[in-house]
Amino acid sequence: MRQPLIAGNWKMNGSKAETVELLNGIKAGVGEVTASEVAVCPPFPYLYLAEDMLKGSAIRYGSQDCSREESGAFTGQVSAAMLQDFGCTYAILGHSERRLFNAETDAIIARKYAVVVSHGLTPILCVGETLEEREQGKTEEVVARHLDAVLESAGADALAKGVIAYEPVWAIGTGVTATPEQAQEVHAFLRARIAKKSTEVAAGMRILYGGSMKPGNAQELMAQPDIDGGLIGGAALKAGDFLAICKAGDANV
């Protein structure tokens, strides 16, 4: 049985005061979450608050990105060693917004994946297609390319040290959600592709859904056999909504 993971991607939202309020709200209710693993990924400047406020808590935390470089003259970047120093568990890699706005290629993301794993952090590898790619029938081709970049460069054993998040770009922040059947189809495809390299890794791999999961659709999505949790955007910014999604994960264990 794969433990559900509900990870909040806060993106570039919040202030110091709002971060404190949100973390307090999640901490206050997380005791009612009985089976799901809970994680939050605040913006870099607020990781110190996560480190301080989540000490001794069951809530894990991580970053929204990581440099592919170990250290050096890379202004504005944050290294895996720095994230490790702050006690991070997770690092989100390859989010569609990074691919689009920061021109991150599959090769760059694969390199980041290897660096993150080498520092004992758990990458959350994002894969997903645009609306145009879906309409052209290229969904499997696109997510396979995103996945294969890591599989081919790092191998199945390294992939096993991470988590995958399927994020249909057409469903991120749009309010449109893939149907449970649409999401399950892609999750099953990803698991089957991993199984070609290692059935053991495929069976244990957690694959999250990341396209506008909300309290109203979370339980139905996570009832699908290959959906093991969610990478949550907008709903992660409200403690009540985020905790409701975590409890929906519990319901499917």
Residue 175 predicted with pLDDT over 80 = no
What mean pLDDT comes out for the span 149-173?
92
Tell which residue, 62, 107, 86, has the closest CA to residue 231. Answer: 62
pLDDT in tens, 57-87: 999 999 999 999 999 999 999 999 999 999 9
Residue 173 is predicted with a pLDDT of 73
pLDDT in tens, 95-137: 999 999 999 999 999 999 999 999 999 999 999 999 889 989 9
Candidates 37, 95, 97, 129; catalytic one: 95
**C-beta of residue 221 within 8 angstroms of C-beta of residue 213:** yes
Q: Which residue has the higher pLDDT, 175 or 166?
A: 166
- Looking up tokens 């191998």 gives 155
- Looking up tokens 């955007």 gives 233
Secondary structure in 3-state letters for 78-98: CCHHHHHHCCCCEEEECCHHH
What mean pLDDT comes out for the span 172-190?
89
Candidates 97, 146, 167, 187; catalytic one: 167
Query: Which residues in 163-196 are b (16+ Cβ under 10 Å) and which e?
Result: bbbbbbbbbbeeeebbebeebbebbebbbebbee
Measuring CA to CA, how many Å separate 220 from each of 128, 180, 224? 20, 7, 7
| N-to-C CA span, the chain | 8
- Looking up tokens 């790619």 gives 133
| SS3 state at 164 | strand
pLDDT in tens, 204-214: 999 999 988 99
**C-beta of residue 106 within 8 angstroms of C-beta of residue 68:** no
The one-letter amino acid code at 219 reads Q
Active site residue 167: yes
**C-beta of residue 72 within 8 angstroms of C-beta of residue 115:** no
What mean pLDDT comes out for the span 159-171?
94
CA separation for the pair 156, 6 (Å, rounded) = 23
